Amino acid sequence: MAQNHAVEFKGISKSFGHKIANEKVDLYLDRGVIMSLLGENGSGKTTLMNMLAGIYFPDEGEILIDGKPVVIRSPKDAFDNGIGMIHQHFKLVDVFTAAENIVLGLKEDGKLDRRKVSARVSEIAAKYGFEIDPDKKIYEMSVSEKQTVEIIKVLYRGADILILDEPTAVLTPQETAKLFRVLKAMREDGKSIILITHKLNEVMEISDVVAVLRKGQHVATVRTSETSEKELTEMMVGRTVTLDIDRPLPVDPKPRLTVAGLTVKDSEGVTKLDNVGMVAYGGEILGIAGIAGSGQKELLEAIAGLRHIQKGSIIYTPEHEAPAELVGKSPMEIKEAGVALAFVPEDRLGMGLVGGMGMTGNMLLRSWNKGRGIFVDTKAPEELAEKVLENLDVQTPSIDYPVRKLSGGNVQKVLVGREIASAPSVLMSAYAVRGLDINTSYTIYNLMTQQKMKGVAVIFVGEDLDVLLELCDRILVLCGGKVSGVVDARKATKEQIGLMMTSSDFIHSSPRPGETISQAEAMVAKSKEVRQND
Amino acid sequence: MTEKVPLIRLAKREDMARSRIWLIRLLAFVLALILGGLVFVIAGADPITAYSTMVAGSLGKVTGIRQVVKVAVPLLGTALALAPCFAMRYWNIGAEGQITMGAMMASFFALKMVNAMPSPVLLIVMGISAALMGALWAGIPAFFKAHWGTNETLFTLMMNYIAIGIVGWLQGGPWEGKPGSQIIPMFDEKAVLPSVFGVHIGWIIVLILTFLMYIYMTKTKHGYEIAVLGESENTARYAGMDVRRVMLRTACLSGGIAGLVGFMICSGADETLYQTVAGGVGFTAITVTWLAQLNPFAMIAISLLLAILSKGASTIQTTMGVPASISDIITGIILLCMLGCEFFINYKMIFRGHEEHPLAPTTAQNTEVPGVSPEAVKEVKA
């Protein structure tokens, strides 16, 4: 048994046109092991895994499962070999239930016995500690629930080699903790798991071994217990990098944006922001922390004029100009006034970018309405696209190449680059580093700091508390649409913020107080755990 | 392992040279003609004679060419009308009704106000009123979609039947000519579009429209708004676009052009108003718009091609006794081949044992989206 690896890649190469995605990769994975696959954007991680999952076919080399060479020509072949992949973008039918999605495409004899399927799903769920309602429709599910369906789908098909592509990119810390518990249970059961990820702390926390890819080549596989985040980063990037964020003290901070009594309801009448008050100063980075869905998105959208505001005021004080009320202004007017929003949605392209257009067309999104006549001016956006391409080192064949075809990191650079280029005096960014690798993330952090030094009021909604504590000057904590406090980022601790994220008045108004408390505890516990690993 | 490698693999490709793309399209057309030839053989006709009769009938004589142009004008005009809607991913399949309502409005002036003004003024009034009526007819479903999210496909489709019904009622009732004839009288010549080179000047109007539509779609703010909205409503909103307004405006523009086409048909070609004034043009134009991939200039070629086929069909029916439905089959085959060849432009096939060296440059390109197209590499035959 021991001599046969669960999966082995031998000399696998794959290229797309002129671009080499993988070059002579030799890699193996044993049973009952969690392996992290680490690499920068475009280092060929996803391509390599897609070859295992039957989506791409290797140009060269062979894949061995349990020591036997196999040919994987389709996802079906992959399933027949016990391989299942959970993609970053879920492949589920929205109007079907979880159970229906799970059996979709299976060729089982006889009639579809829903009760039997549900029972089997519940059995798998119980075995590994998933929480799932087999009869719930996909469109009613949160991202994390959809992911659970995807995982059970491959387990149901008998997969014992699971590939997860950036599974935590869209999860909250609590959901991540839950996922990791499940993954550990699967490991105990002898399953092999490959995690494609960018988050080093997660790599250290969950995996047994780490394989690092760089420019399509396999650099090394190391035991997690024998390496460090720093060493991994160096292997990934190929040179020494410093992971410290430079945080100069704010110079002469002046109130730029004063929000008072802001109340926002969504289309169903649910209160999303409840009497929120805050001040953002020019020359500082104000972080916004909170459990996912605590009103971060709504707050930024309300300021940008994209949300209907029930009550409250947003006073904007530009430099050398009189204060102005933003409530009641159109998104266009607010943008013109110098308040920029760079929001990276969960699917990266849904808002703020047009996938089918090139960089020029996307730069035009900010300026299309400029000028008097009926024609659009493409000259300025073209110059801007060139500038962003150069300044942020966007990897694209040309400025007219559709941004949809760029890798995630480059898409984000285009978005953030455009917002920064408009020389805003308030820059709001949400999830700006979502799914980005370390190097690119730091590029974005540095851009934020540069803007701050220019006197811009930067509002940074982030998911990673460590980053918020390192990058920001002050952190505003939201909880259930209310402000539970503002802390000095240089002095606050993760535990303190974690508790504020689930503050007491939230617990009163929450329908499920028990869950909230346990989430907070999980979060604090997790941050401690990470510390110990450091 | 070579034995188990799939016989044919498909890989996405890009950056194909323009000349090669057109070569593939030409080959597809030739293939369609060969397949169509088989159909003629089955129907008992000599394919070469049949094809040459079709060409001779449609392009051989000046009258044939004139008739081809006459058929192509409404097709091109309507395809142009649909282009902005389709670019916005707004499925206006109500051009048929918009044409009919436009024609009805133009006919109202042609029949009832003919003595109220001189001919040029009358024609201009007819054209403008037709465009306004078409815009209104397209605006109703757009308004409902913009405000209450109704399904525009069904709504525009249903509006067709209402429009045709209205004209049917006028034809047999209030506007009927001789009692019992069920026909509306011919227009006075003051209400008939003048001809240039033997075809009503509608052909000049649509050519100008083609150029204007190209400019509108590619160079103007409106065109940009349409393109963004077609990609993502959220992005459009974020960019400060008034989504409802853009939707309504574009649908009305589309209906307006369709209404104008209705005016050209009744005033230029038919010289009266029939219930079947649109005669399926509103639907055929959908094919033209798609085949042209929303490019106005390509629409000229495609609408001419369809017009040649339809004129040729009636020629072989009269001279060779081959049913016109045979040429409908051939039209279908040609369209299928033209659409099918796009597949070979977007994908390449790799045969077992003929793999290019993996590290050598090929024409495929990484799509970068993980797992977006499982068909990118799929087994055709084991």
pLDDT in tens, chain B (382 residues): 444 566 676 666 666 777 888 888 888 889 988 998 898 888 888 888 888 888 888 888 888 899 999 999 999 999 999 999 999 999 999 999 999 999 999 999 999 888 888 989 999 999 999 999 999 999 999 999 999 989 999 999 999 999 999 999 999 888 988 888 888 989 988 888 888 888 888 999 999 999 999 999 999 999 999 999 998 888 888 788 889 999 999 999 999 999 999 999 999 888 899 999 988 899 999 989 988 889 999 999 999 988 988 888 888 888 888 887 887 788 888 888 888 887 887 777 777 665 554 443 333 333 333 333 334 333 333 3
Helix (H) or strand (E) holding A261: strand A254-265
Residues of B within 8 A of A53 (CB-CB) are 371
| B231 Cβ under 8 Å from any chain A Cβ | yes
CA dihedral sign, ordered B339, B342, B347, B352: positive
Question: Dmax over Cα atoms in chain A, in whole Å?
Answer: 76
Residues of A (34-63) whose Cβ lies below 8 Å from B? 42, 46-47, 49-50, 53-57, 59-60, 62
pLDDT recorded at residue B246: 94
Q: What long-range pairs does A308-312 form, CB within 8 A, spacing at least 24?
A: A308/A264, A308/A265, A309/A262, A309/A263, A309/A264, A310/A263, A310/A264, A310/A265, A311/A261, A311/A262, A311/A263, A311/A275, A312/A259, A312/A260, A312/A261, A312/A262, A312/A263, A312/A275, A312/A276
Nearest CA to A202 among A315, A34, A60, A55? A34
Question: B238 and A352 in contact by Cβ < 8 A?
Answer: yes
Residues of A (154-183) whose Cβ lies below 8 Å from B? 165
Eight-class DSSP state of B184: P
Q: What are phi and psi of A337, to 5 degrees?
A: -70, -15
Question: A17 and B362 in contact by Cβ < 8 A?
Answer: yes
CA distance B190 to B125: 12
pLDDT recorded at residue B260: 96
Angle in degrees, CA A341, A260, A307, rounded to 5: 40
Residue A321's CB is within 10 A of a number of other CB atoms, namely 11
Residues of B (259-298) whose Cβ lies below 8 Å from A? none
| Tokens matching residue A456 | 């811009």
Question: B235 and A374 in contact by Cβ < 8 A?
Answer: no
Q: Find where tokens 């659970």 sit.
A: A148
Question: Pairing relation of β-strands B199-200 and B195-196?
Answer: antiparallel
Question: Dmax over Cα atoms in chain B, in whole Å?
Answer: 86
Residues A60 and A6: beta-carbon distance below 8 Å? no
Give A17→chain B minimum CA distance, Å. Answer: 4
* DSSP SS3 for A381: helix
CA distance A152 to A396: 37
Eight-class DSSP state of B357: P
CATH 3.30.465.10 fits A7-237, yes or no: no
Residues B379 and A73: beta-carbon distance below 8 Å? yes
Q: Find where tokens 């970053």 sit.
A: A88
CA distance B289 to B84: 10
Q: How many CA atoms lie within 13 A of A330 on its CB side?
A: 8
Q: Find where tokens 């580093």 sit.
A: A433
Where do the domains of chain B lie?
A: 2-16+346-376, 72-311
| Tokens matching residue B269 | 């070609």
Give A533→chain B minimum CA distance, Å. Answer: 32
pLDDT recorded at residue A163: 92
What is the model's pTM?
0.71
**Which of B5, B221, B238 has its CB closest to that of A351?**
B238
Nearest CA to A104 among A47, A154, A179? A154
CA dihedral sign, ordered B76, B77, B82, B83: positive
Residues A22 and A47: beta-carbon distance below 8 Å? yes
pLDDT digits (tens, 9 = 90+) for B100-131: 999 999 999 999 888 888 989 999 999 999 99
For residue A344, what pLDDT band results from cuts at 50, 70 and 90?
A: low
Residues 6+ apart with CB under 8 A from A258: A278, A279, A313, A314, A315, A317, A323
Name the more confident of A133 and B18. A133
| Tokens matching residue B156 | 């525009």
Residues B40 and B46: beta-carbon distance below 8 Å? yes
For residue A379, what pLDDT band results from cuts at 50, 70 and 90?
A: confident
pLDDT digits (tens, 9 = 90+) for A88-120: 778 888 888 888 888 887 776 667 778 888 888
| Residue of chain A with shortest Cα separation from B239 | A365
| B221 Cβ under 8 Å from any chain A Cβ | yes
Q: For the CA atoms of chain A, what is the radius of gyration?
A: 24
Helix (H) or strand (E) holding B196: strand B195-196
Q: What long-range pairs does B212-221 form, CB within 8 A, spacing at least 24?
A: B213/B80, B213/B83, B213/B84, B213/B296, B214/B295, B214/B296, B214/B297, B216/B84, B217/B83, B217/B84, B217/B87, B217/B294, B217/B296, B219/A375, B219/A376, B220/A374, B220/A375, B220/A376, B221/A368, B221/A369, B221/A374, B221/A375, B221/A376
- Classify residue B360 by burial, with Cβ atoms within 10 Å: 0-12, 13-18, 19+: exposed
Residue A437's CB is within 10 A of a number of other CB atoms, namely 24
Residues A221 and A232: beta-carbon distance below 8 Å? no
Where do the domains of chain A lie?
A: 7-237, 250-338+426-433+457-534
Give the torsion through C-alpha atoms of A148, A154, A156, A157, to 10 deg. 170
Eight-class DSSP state of B88: T
CA distance A236 to A437: 10
Instruction: Report the phi/psi class of residue A465: left, alpha or beta, with left for phi > 0 and alpha for psi in -120 to 50.
Output: alpha
Interface test with A, best of B294, B348, B369, B373 (most A CBs within 10 A): B369
CA distance A370 to A78: 52
Eight-class DSSP state of A375: B
* pLDDT beyond 80 at A173: no
pLDDT recorded at residue B95: 94
| Tokens matching residue A100 | 């229906």
pLDDT recorded at residue A504: 44
Residues 6+ apart with CB under 8 A from B78: B95, B99, B257, B258, B261, B281, B282, B284, B285, B288
pLDDT digits (tens, 9 = 90+) for A29-53: 888 999 999 887 778 888 899 899 8
* pLDDT beyond 90 at A530: no
Q: What's chain A's average pLDDT?
A: 81
Residues of A within 8 A of B362 (CB-CB) are 15-18
Q: Give me the helix-helix angle, B152-172 and B95-112, nearest 10°.
A: 30
Q: What's the CATH number for A250-338+426-433+457-534?
A: 3.40.50.300
Residues of B within 8 A of A55 (CB-CB) are 370-371, 373-374, 376-377
Highest mean pLDDT among A13-22, A139-148, B28-37, B247-256: B247-256
* DSSP SS3 for B47: helix
For residue A319, what pLDDT band results from cuts at 50, 70 and 90?
A: confident
Q: What are phi and psi of B197, to 5 degrees?
A: 55, 35
pLDDT recorded at residue A17: 67
Q: How many CA atoms lie within 13 A of B145 on its CB side?
A: 25
pLDDT digits (tens, 9 = 90+) for A396-432: 888 888 888 777 677 888 888 888 887 788 888 888 7
| B363 Cβ under 8 Å from any chain A Cβ | yes
CA dihedral sign, ordered B37, B43, B49, B54: negative
- DSSP β-bridge partners for residue A212: A38, A220
| B372 Cβ under 8 Å from any chain A Cβ | yes
* Rounded percentage of chain B residues whose pLDDT exceeds 90: 44
| Tokens matching residue A508 | 């009163």
Which ranges of chain B does DSSP label H, i.e. alpha helix? 18-42, 47-55, 62-87, 95-112, 119-148, 152-172, 202-219, 221-231, 233-238, 243-264, 281-291, 296-320, 324-346
pLDDT recorded at residue B266: 93
Question: A366 and B219 in contact by Cβ < 8 A?
Answer: no
CA distance B200 to B65: 13
